[in-house]
Amino acid sequence: MLDCQSGTLHIYNVQKEDSSTYLLRVLKDSGYEDEWKIPLEVLDPVPKPVIEVKKTQEGNKCNLTLSCVIQDQSANYTWYAESFPKEFQSSVLEVTHTPQNYSSSYTCQVSNPVSSQNYTVNFTSPCVLAPSSGVARTDTWLVITVTTVLGLLWIGDELF
């Protein structure tokens, strides 16, 4: 849809297959025609990343390789340690932890011009990943539920 007052062209319902270079021709009042080539790139939002952690321990040092993984897409990467951006713009971050000097969390942010997503891993000590609180809560909930259901079934058998 063309906004005749501003000259803005709004394009809706584009697909990745619409990515191409388009030719714009404008007929001026003078009768001359101007022509521009306009590239259009249609991007998908970036998916949520996952951080893969590889650890090697040497004495009291822990060498970490953190890989920020997303499904087949190009994206910009930004790493954060303790919420502060690192000067590193790659999908892989290599760090060395010692008991006196380590970050307790690392966040990978992936972005493109359309969207941004991030993922965080936490450490309880230089070489120990913190358990995911969501998984811990799920496990606890499952144990309580299973125990309660089994207890009710046992009580039910005793009563009847």
Q: Does some domain include residue 133?
A: no
| Residue 159 in domain | no
Total number of domains in the chain: 2
CATH number, domain at 71? Answer: 2.60.40.10
The answer to whether residue 87 sits within a structural domain is: yes
- Whether 85 maps to a domain, the answer reads yes
> At a CB cut-off of 8 Å and minimum separation 6, what does 66 contact?
51, 52, 53, 79, 92, 93, 94, 95, 106, 108, 121
**Count of other CB atoms within 10 angstroms of residue 97:** 21
With cut-offs at 50, 70 and 90, classify the pLDDT of residue 89.
confident
Range of the domain at 24: 2-40
Segment (H or E) for 55: strand 50-58
160 located within any domain: no
56 lies in a domain? yes
- Looking from the CA of 15 toward its CB, the CA atoms found within 13 Å total 1
Q: Give the angle subtended at the CA of 115 by the CAs of 111 and 116, to the nearest 5°.
A: 45
Same domain, 113 and 80: yes
Does 155 map to a domain? Answer: no
Please report whether residue 149 resides in a domain.
no
* Cα(40)–Cα(143) distance, integer angstroms: 53
pLDDT of residue 156: 52
Instruction: Mark whether 103 and 74 lie in a shared domain.
Output: yes
Q: Are residues 33 and 98 in the same domain?
A: no
Answer yes or no: do 113 and 84 share one domain. yes
Beta bridge mates, 53: 66
How many residues are given for the chain?
Answer: 160
Quote the CA–CA distance of 82 and 77 in Å, as a whole number. Answer: 16
Tell whether 60 and 123 lie within a shared domain: yes
Query: Average pLDDT of 18-45?
Result: 92
Identify the pLDDT of residue 84. Answer: 82
Do 21 and 75 sit in the same domain of this protein? no
Considering the domain architecture, whether residues 85 and 15 belong to the same structural domain is answered as no
Q: What is the mean pLDDT of residues 53-73?
A: 92
SS3 label, residue 115: coil
Give the pairing type, strands 76-81 and 84-85: antiparallel
**Token digits of residue 28:** 């001026």
- H-run or E-run covering 68: strand 61-69
Same domain, 6 and 67: no
| 77 shares a domain with 24 | no
Task: Summarize pLDDT for 134-147 with one digit per residue, the tens.
Answer: 333 333 333 333 44
Same-domain check for residues 54 and 123: yes
CA pair distance 63, 94, nearest whole angstrom:
7
Higher pLDDT pick, 89 / 5: 5
61 and 34 share one domain = no
